[in-house]
Structure formats: structure tokens, C-alpha cells
Structure 1
Amino acid sequence: MEFADLIKTPKLDGVFLHDPQPLQHANAATVGTLCITGHHLLLSARQENSQELWLLHKDIDCVEKKPSMSQNVVVGGIITLKCKDLRIISLEIKYAKEFFNVSSSLEALSAIQNAELLYPFFYRPMYSILEDGYTMFRPELEFAKLISGVGMGGVSSPNVANITICMPSTSTSTSSVGSIPHPLQNGYALDAAAALVGGIGSGATVLACEWRVTNINKDFSVCATYGATLIVPKAITDEQIVLSASFRDGGRFPVLSYRHDNGATLMRSSQPLSIQGIKRCRADEAILNLVLGRSKKGFIVDTWGKGKSNTETDLHYSQWKKVNRSIGNVSSPASILDSFAKLIEACNETGCSTDKWLSRLEGSGWLSLVLNSLNASCVVAQCLDQEGSPVLVHGAKGLDSTLIVTSLVQIILNPDCRTVRGLQALIEREWIQAGHPFASRHRYSCYTPHQTRNKTSGATFVLFLDCIYQLFTQFPCSFEFNVLQTLLNPLYEPNANVIWPSVAPISLELWSELYLRWVIDQRSVTTVMSQVQELVTREKELRTQALKLRKQALELGQEVSALMNNADTA
């Protein structure tokens, strides 16, 4: 398929751009030239200081057509584009043929599903690439950091000095590792903590390890939604992994998600399958029993809700306590999107009274989903940090609510996940490598009519980001990144402590900078952030100046003391 086949009118003059939610451009329509390319819609008045539109086709969630009639004849019309970034814009076209051509082209281009035809495969950066995103967060290295306790600028926990990860190898003999180019390469085992801090010399020997890297899923035959490289207990064989996968929904057997400083491990999986005649899986039990270690008990947290999902039997998992922490009354990921759609519908309703608006906000159920997600995450974090017990988190298929909880737990407990690079690594590890179906979940957004969306659509990742926003509002100085306007947070101060958020309903805030970004003028927020940045910069300058003055005062004091001593001697 060629893009030219879908673009019936590539260029059109005299198109009016209307913004139903005007902010900086107070009700002023822009008249300009509309251009449609394979990936973008562009509209420009070709005048200085005029509004210009650059819109990616995949950002369009819904195309609505309203033809203009004159004597029962279509004479153009208005095309309303409702976008996934929550913006709503309208294009007014004067002529019927161009009106239908443009609308049909945008509908077709925004609905392309072949990934190889999407913009990233055509984009050619005009700058030098400093880091390759495909190799920046290699699973072996990231899990080595995870297990060893080494993070961005962090140090290894004293409790995990001898924790290692082993690559698949038939050899069990010790070996010198001084010349190994990669800490998890060529079948060698290496102490992960020492490797990451440069503490291994040419005479180091291989230590017994608790975890190993397995490539049993390299062809995705064991689990279609897991990555090719996985970290499992060393004592578990690949055969046991296959058996455990056959016991779990979608083959998502228990895998390592996070290891806390005290040694407690967080694992995730899907629910057990409900198959008549199969009530247990000894291989699955063996994985969880190994994770227990010296702990007398572990916790299995079900995020799907009691009675909705299958769970492990008490008889065969006697050391594991079942805890139900549903994130909401949702029967499918589409229910989360329905809640999100109601929220945005309420946010776009600017003409209703305050009481009615608050009623619609509550009726959307979105903030309840946020609250329950934080609540479940805090419960898991307490089990790990205060009980020192391992936790297995699962929902139904383990692709949505499970990933929200395991990710938030790490942000609460691990300060590295509150940095820019740490959050990138977390998303790579807990969402991309964990198989979250971004393509199907976010194919449609809140503006697509309910009857048009399929059941696999959802707003799971948006819910996760909203939860991060809630944590940020309660701990604004503990995050290196800023979820409001700019990328970097000028107030950031590294905080190595666990952050325990309040989960009281009164503690929640509506993320107005996102949900109301096209409804309420955000320039005041931008101005405040600029002022904060200036104050922080000025403070740093004054601190530097104060240190220099103190140093000068100390040197002058030493000179005065020396002169006085010389005078006394004379």
C-alpha cells in the first residue's frame, strides 16, 4: 500500500482552523494552507506569529464530519478532530469534494495498523544519537542492578554483597573473570554487585548464585507476552519453567520483578488456569517455595478482585497468604477506558454547575481507580519493606493492574526509579519487556465511541502515569523528573528513603495540567515553574558564592594568625 493511494487531496488552500477550546488564541480562526503527508497533517497561514498546526495522524482518535448544506446540497463542512492528547480542533472546508476527500483521507491514515508503515520507521533524526534506546536497558544489566542493589549513583546494599546472576552454562567450575567484556556473557557467572561498581579483579572467582538468566523463551514459545531473556531462581530448571507456564494464564509464570534492600523479592505472574482435573502444579509451587528462602510466609496479592480470578489453593501454597486488593470494579481493560472517557467528558463540560461537575467527576470512577491502585501498591510495599516477606502479584492475565502495582511499588521503595533514567528502565522492564499490549490497549482512546472500541482497548498506562502524578504532588522534591510542564524538576533533592503516600481520598488531586490542558489556560503554571527555576538557579549561585567567601575568610584568618604569631616572635 502506498500513502498516495490514501491521500486524495494532498494540499488545499483557504482552510479555516477553529479551536473549540481556545487558550492562547482567543476565538481567532486561522486561515491557511492544509497539507496532508503520509504521517502528518499540517496547516499554516504562512505568516509571522500565526498559529501553525502539526498533527501526527496516529494522534487522531476520532474524526467527526458535519457537512454544511445549502438548498439540500453539501457545500463543504467542518471536520472535527478529537486527538489522543485530549485536544479537539476543527477544520472548516468550503467545498464539498475537498471536504469528503480530506475527511476520508484522515480516517484512513489514522486507522493504519501495519507497524512498519508508522512514523518511527520513517523518521530520520537530524542530530547525532548519543545512546541507542534498543540497547540502553539490556535485561541482563538491569536485573543485575536490581538484584545487587546498585542504582543510578547508588551503592550496593550490605545485605546483598554475594548476590549473583548466572548465565546458562554447562560448566560449574570457577573461572577468572577479569577479561570478560560483559558481566553476564559467554556462560560465565559474575558477582553482579562487584561488577557494577568495578570491584572485581583478575583473580576473582565465581560465587554461588541465587538467580540465573534463561533464554528458554527466546522464540516466545513458552510465553508469547514475556521477553526473550528472563531471570529465574537458579535451582529451577527450564523444564520446570515450561510446566509452570502451562499452569498459568497465557503462560505468564512467576518471574522476578524487584528485589528490595532487605532481600525480599517481588514477583509477578498471571492467575492459574481453571482446567478441570488440574488443581496443582508442583513446578509452580517449587518456584514460589524457593523464593520464600528463610521467610516463614509470603503474600499473594490478587489485583483483579475476590471471586473474579482464579487463585492458588491454600492446600498447595500453605506458606502463602492470599490478599485481595482489586483496583476497581472492572471486568476488562475496556472498563478502565470507559472510566477515563467519562472523566474527559466531564472535564470538557465547561457550562455545567460546580455541583454537577463534581458529581460527574465522581461518577466517572477514575479517581477511585487511582486511589485503589495506590492502596494496593502500598500494601505490597509494606509486605516487602516492613514484613520482609516475598510477594507475588497477579490479576487475571497479568498485563494491566498487575503491572501498575509492581511498577508503583518500585517507585515507592526504590529511589532510583524516581530518576529520569530509572523511570525509563522501569518502563522498559515492567511494561515493554513484561509484554503490555500497548498497540491494542491504546489503539483507541477516550473520544472513540464506546460501541466502536474493542474489548482489548484500555487506558492502563494513563492510569499508571496518574498514580505517579499523585506521588509527585505528595513528594515534589523526591522526583528528578517533573510531571507537570518541564522534564527536569528544579526542586529535586535525592531522597534515599521509602516514600509512603497518603491514600486518603482527600489526598488525591485531579491532574489538571493534563486533563484540563486544553480547557484551562496553563500559562500561569508555566510562569510559576519558570520563577521556581530562576529561584533555584539563584540559590545555587549564592551557595557557590558563600562557599568561596567562607574559603576566603578561612584563608584570611589563617594569614592573620600567622602574622600575629610572627609579631609575637619578633
Structure 2
Amino acid sequence: MGMLGLGNGLKMEFADKIRIPKLNGVTMRGPHISNTSTGTLVITGHHLIFSSRSEDVELWILNRNIDIVERKLNTITLKCKDFRIIVFDMPYIEQATSVAASIESLIMTDETDYLHHNMFSNKNNEYRSPFDVKSQCEQLVAGDSMWRISQVNKSYRVCSTYPELTVVPSNVDDTMLIASAKFRQNGRFPVLCYRHEKGSVLMRSSQPLVGSSSKRCKQDERVINSVLGPGKRGYIIDTRSVANATNAKARGGGFEMEAHYPQWRRVNSALERHNVLLDSLSKIVEACNDTTCTIERWLNKLNGSEWLSHVKDTLNAACLVAQCLNKERASVLVHGSESTDATLVLISLTQLILNPECRTIVGFESLIEREWLQAGHPFETRHKSGCYNAARSKVSSSSSSKIFHHGSGATFLLFLDCTWQIHNQFPCCFQFSTNFLSSLVDHSYCSDFSTFYGNCEADRKNNPCGKPNLWSHFDQKIDEIINPLYLHTNNVIWPSVAPFSIELWRDMYLRWSIDQTHQKKYKKSIDDLIKRNKELKILATKLRNETQESGNKST
């Protein structure tokens, strides 16, 4: 859509927030802009648009992609959630002040208002996904009489962050589930996530509300203990450190007491919380943006960010869970405190390691839908601000900045980074390319699609935003996300977690800092050759069969 049609084609939503809708004579530059351009800047309720006819440049930025706005005299610097830094020089200081105020007002707009009032919204549509909860649950049960689909959470009355349907043990009734929910933080009672072919199962929940008085709940014990047969043992993987899990008792939380869960062995596999991850991300992005530093300073910054250490620790924990299920044939329950962050990372990565279906495009989309969206990862809260806002909030005394940043995190990005690490080690085991992962990161922070809207299924169902789902979009872009190296295998893949095996995701963190045009062309040429080779093999097989059939007829 060309910018020339903006005057007639776009409604001016949020007109009261936009002081200057259009400004000529603006210069665009910056560390992530290859060439300086002068043209027109347009602000709408949905996008920030820069266009230069003379230099054939047009840039569209979703307002919600803008993390922070910095102004100095007549210059505005935009730092985006996708890590880009873009600088605009205005003719006058007063114009820069008005433009900066307009953009800041727009990016502070509530997500619900934003999604319900934009030029692409179609309010006759509802949020729809090809991976509805019912079909996901039916696929998980798959005729196994040990499990059933429960409607105990109908209308989200037991747990506001769970879907309405969950898979639970057949010998546990709904009254027990309600009691268990009251004993678990935010009502997140134990539910089934994955059934391994060797008979072990993977479950998740939130922490038990044991408290300092070591309370117990017999119904909760029944729910968890019923998963194990006589003589069987299981593991409870706690994503907190021993100290943090113990300290949680003083705040009303805690962990399962061994006396009440005798068949379960508790193991602490400490992973950092979402806010720590975001601070770490801000440091690694800062390091990647510093293209003039020495090698020694670069390595110090990279190490000081601790991001790759978080990636390593997370992969190590996921391998631990996978080993319990696959090699020991022991069932596993994973939880932390709320269990809407680190728990979901482990649950997802474990299935990626063990289940080849999750390495297909549809399987990976289904995994995200099931273990992130339907499982209640608070995308709206976690992605309200990005790494630049996190860095500013640490040094800013502004209370509004800290409030806006509160609750933000980088958990989902960590999961996709870990997925990239496994993909990097096993490039032939994934049907999708790493471009798919990069695109998922961007859409999770700001998107024209409804998939990552809200904090849970209840938000998306009760407040439909009338936008299409992301998975349908990827269906139309399949050639851009397919991996030509893919060879289907049913094998379990065990990623190396040795320090030298963990690499920087260059295509994510360095995509704006380094011109990767030649690398992309080189990679595309290889992909085209591989694709052509596959086509020729198929053709050769077809011709061979036709020749053989022709020979048989002649005899």
C-alpha cells in the first residue's frame, strides 16, 4: 500500500493523540539504516511511515514495535522491540517535540484499544486458530483410558489462565481437581502435556501453597500420585533454586513434601525469572549494537550479559526432563512459582527433543498454541516493553517508565533461541527454517495478527479483536519458511550443552548491525540447489518407474 493513498485510504484513529500527522523535510538515518534519506514522515494510529520519492525509500513501522522514543533538540531516536535503532532529524525543535509526544502517546495506548481500532480490523471476525483446545486435548488423550478431558474449568471458573478443557487422570473427578486448584498458585492444577511412547508422561502445574505451616491437600496428592503405578517413581522438576523454593514457603508457597508424595523425587533445576532474562537481553543487544568496540571488549560484554549462560542452563534442564522420560521411563511434573514462564520453556523444549512431530511446521505451531497460548503465558504483559525500555528503566527515576516496564520479560525469546540452538546442531531434523523462528519473535512483540493478543485464552475469547491468526499467514508463506535440508526422522535428538556448542543467534541479534545481504544470497543459492536436486531425484525415480513399466509391457 503506497503512502500516496493515505489521505483517503486510512482512518485517523487516535487523532487526539497525534499532534502532527504529516511532516515534510524529515531526514532518516541511524546505525541500522544503510543510507541517509530525506522525505515525508506520516503518523497514523497504527503505523509510523517514512517515504522518500526521490530516493525510492519507504519504511513502515508498527507503532507497537517502538520500544522507546528519545529526543534531543530537533532529533528523534526510535529504539524498536525488534532491536532496530532509527533516527529522524526534523526541520525544527518544536516539530520534533510534537512528533515525539505523539509517538509516545500512541505506544502507551492499551493493547485492547489498539487492536480494536486500526485500519486492518474486521470486527465481524473472531479469534480463530486451527489448533482449538478440543482437538488438542483429543489428540493428547488419543484413546488412552488412563486420561480424560475435563470441563472443570468451564467459563474459566477454576483457573483464569487455563483453557476451558484440560487433560487429567481418569480416576480423578472434578471435585478433586477443584480442591487441587485451591492448593496451587493461581489455580493452576496439574495437567497432562505429553505422553511418551515408552509410557511415561509429562505434566505441569504451579507451586503448591504449602506455606510455613506445611499445609497439605489430600486431593492434590491423589491427582499427582494417581499418575504413577505401583512401584513406579516420578520426578518433580522445580525451576527454582533450593533457596528460592524454600523462601517461597514464607510467602505462602513452597514445594511438595516428600512424606505426602512418596513416589516422587524432587529435583531443583534453577532457571532465571522473566525480568532477569530481559535485563540480560538488553545487555547482549547493547553489545551487538556496539560495532566499534575491540574484540576484548566485545567478549567481555557478551560474557557479562549472561544470555548464552541462560540458554545453556535452559537446554541443560530440558535435556534432564527428556532423559527422565525417555531413558528412565519416569513421569515428570514441572513447576516453578506461577509456572507461566520457565515451566513452559522446559515443557516445550522437552517435546521438541523427544517428539519429531514438534519439529514440523504444523507441529511446532501446535506446540506454541498448546504450551504457550493455551497454557497462559502472559504475552501482552511480557512483551509490553522490550530490551531498550528495560535498560532505560534501570537508570530512570521515572515512575511511569517503571510501571510500563513492570512484568515485561524475554521468556518466549529464550525458548526460540534454545530452539535455534537445537536447529543449528540438527539442521536436517526441522521442517521449518530459522527464518520461521525470527518471524515468530517479531510477531510475538507486535503483529497485525491476533495469535499473540492478550495474556491467556480467556482474553482472546472474551475480547475478540477481529484479526486473522498468524498460522494462516504462514500457510501462505510456506516457501519462505520451509527448510530444504529437512529429512524426516523419528529419532530423539540430544543437543550438546557444552559451552562451545552454544552460539550467538547472529540472524536475530546482529541482523541490523551487520549487512547480511551476501550471506542471504549465498544461503538462498544453496537452498535453491538443494531444492532442485530433490526435484531431479523425484523426476529420475518417476522416469525409472515408467521405463520399468514399459519394459514389463513389452515382454
Compute the TM-score of the two structures, normalised by the length of structure 2: 0.83
Specify the code of the residue in structure 1 equivalent to 2:222. Answer: A
Matched ranges for 1:277-316 at <5 A: 277-294=213-230, 296-309=232-245, 310-316=254-260
Q: What are the superposed Cα offsets for residues 515-541 of structure 1, whole Å, 9 maximum, x if unpaired?
A: 000011111231122112221222123
Residue 52 of structure 1: which of 41, 50, 58 is its match? 58
Matched, 1:351 2:288: no
Partner in structure 1 of residue 499 of structure 2: 505
Partner in structure 1 of residue 420 of structure 2: 469
Partner Cα distance (1:549, 1:242) in 2: 63
Partner in structure 1 of residue 531 of structure 2: 537
Q: What are the superposed Cα offsets for residues 52-76 of structure 1, whole Å, 9 maximum, x if unpaired?
A: 1100000000100011xxxxxxxxx
Specify the code of the residue in structure 1 equivalent to 2:393. Answer: H
Go from structure 1 to structure 2 and tell me whether the alpha carbon gap of 1:106 and 1:119 turns closer, same or farther (over 3 Å shift). farther
Partner in structure 2 of residue 527 of structure 1: 521
Q: What are the superposed Cα offsets for residues 23-59 of structure 1, whole Å, 9 maximum, x if unpaired?
A: xx3xx31111111111101110124x62211000000
Partner Cα distance (1:121, 1:289) in 2: 50
Matched position secondary structure for 2:128 = helix
Partner in structure 2 of residue 429 of structure 1: 370
The answer to whether the 8 Å contact 1:39/1:119 transfers is: no
Specify the code of the residue in structure 2 equivalent to 1:118. Answer: L
Between 96-105 and 548-557, report the one with greater CA deviation. Answer: 548-557
Q: What are the superposed Cα offsets for residues 61-107 of structure 1, whole Å, 9 maximum, x if unpaired?
A: 0100011xxxxxxxxx1100000000000111011222111100000
Between 134-143 and 314-323, report the one with greater CA deviation. Answer: 134-143
Partner in structure 1 of residue 93 of structure 2: 96
Go from structure 1 to structure 2 and tell me whether the alpha carbon gap of 1:552 and 1:248 turns closer, same or farther (over 3 Å shift). closer
Partner Cα distance (1:234, 1:549) in 2: 54
Q: Which protein is richer in helix relative to its size?
A: 2
Specify the code of the residue in structure 2 equivalent to 1:316. Answer: H
Q: What are the superposed Cα offsets for residues 429-465 of structure 1, whole Å, 9 maximum, x if unpaired?
A: 1111111111111111110113334441110011011
Note the C-alpha offset of 1:220.
2.4
The answer to whether the 8 Å contact 1:147/1:258 transfers is: no
Note the C-alpha offset of 1:484.
3.6
Matched position secondary structure for 1:308 = helix
Partner in structure 1 of residue 102 of structure 2: 105
Matched position secondary structure for 2:154 = coil
The answer to whether the 8 Å contact 1:39/1:118 transfers is: no
Matched ranges for 1:17-28 at <5 A: 17-22=28-33, 25=34, 28=35
The answer to whether the 8 Å contact 2:31/2:85 transfers is: yes
Higher relative contact order (CA 8 A, sep 6+): 2
Residue 26 of structure 2: which of 7, 10, 15 is its match? 15
Note the C-alpha offset of 1:120.
8.2
Residue 381 of structure 2: which of 433, 440, 445 is its match? 440
Note the C-alpha offset of 1:258.
0.9
Matched ranges for 1:80-479 at <5 A: 80-118=77-115, 122-124=119-121, 134-148=128-142, 162-163=143-144, 209-294=145-230, 296-309=232-245, 310-327=254-271, 330=272, 332-448=273-389, 449-451=392-394, 452-453=401-402, 454-479=405-430
Runs of 5+ unmatched residues, structure 1: 68-76, 149-161, 164-208, 563-570
The answer to whether the 8 Å contact 2:210/2:255 transfers is: no
Go from structure 1 to structure 2 and tell me whether the alpha carbon gap of 1:9 and 1:325 turns closer, same or farther (over 3 Å shift). same
Q: What are the superposed Cα offsets for residues 367-397 of structure 1, whole Å, 9 maximum, x if unpaired?
A: 1110111111011011111111110001111
Partner Cα distance (1:434, 1:559) in 2: 59
Matched position secondary structure for 1:118 = helix
Matched position secondary structure for 1:307 = helix
- RMSD (Å) for aligned C-alpha atoms: 2.0
Note the C-alpha offset of 1:121.
6.2
Go from structure 1 to structure 2 and tell me whether the alpha carbon gap of 1:2 and 1:38 turns closer, same or farther (over 3 Å shift). closer
Go from structure 1 to structure 2 and tell me whether the alpha carbon gap of 1:219 and 1:552 turns closer, same or farther (over 3 Å shift). closer
Partner Cα distance (1:388, 1:413) in 2: 12
Specify the code of the residue in structure 2 equivalent to 1:35. Answer: V
Specify the code of the residue in structure 1 equivalent to 2:164. Answer: A
Specify the code of the residue in structure 2 equivalent to 1:470. Answer: Q
- Report how many residues are paired: 481
User: Structure 1 stretches (4+) deviating beyond 3 angstroms?
Assistant: 119-122, 451-455, 555-560
Partner Cα distance (2:411, 2:20) in 1: 37
Partner Cα distance (1:121, 1:232) in 2: 41
Partner Cα distance (1:333, 1:548) in 2: 53
Partner Cα distance (2:117, 2:263) in 1: 48
Matched, 1:518 2:512: yes
Matched position secondary structure for 2:226 = helix
Partner in structure 2 of residue 200 of structure 1: none
Specify the code of the residue in structure 2 equivalent to 1:478. Answer: C
Larger radius of gyration, structure 1 or 2?
Answer: 1
The answer to whether the 8 Å contact 1:21/1:518 transfers is: yes
Specify the code of the residue in structure 1 equivalent to 2:200. Answer: A
Partner Cα distance (1:260, 1:118) in 2: 39
Partner Cα distance (1:402, 1:435) in 2: 11
Partner Cα distance (1:422, 1:481) in 2: 10
Note the C-alpha offset of 1:552.
4.9
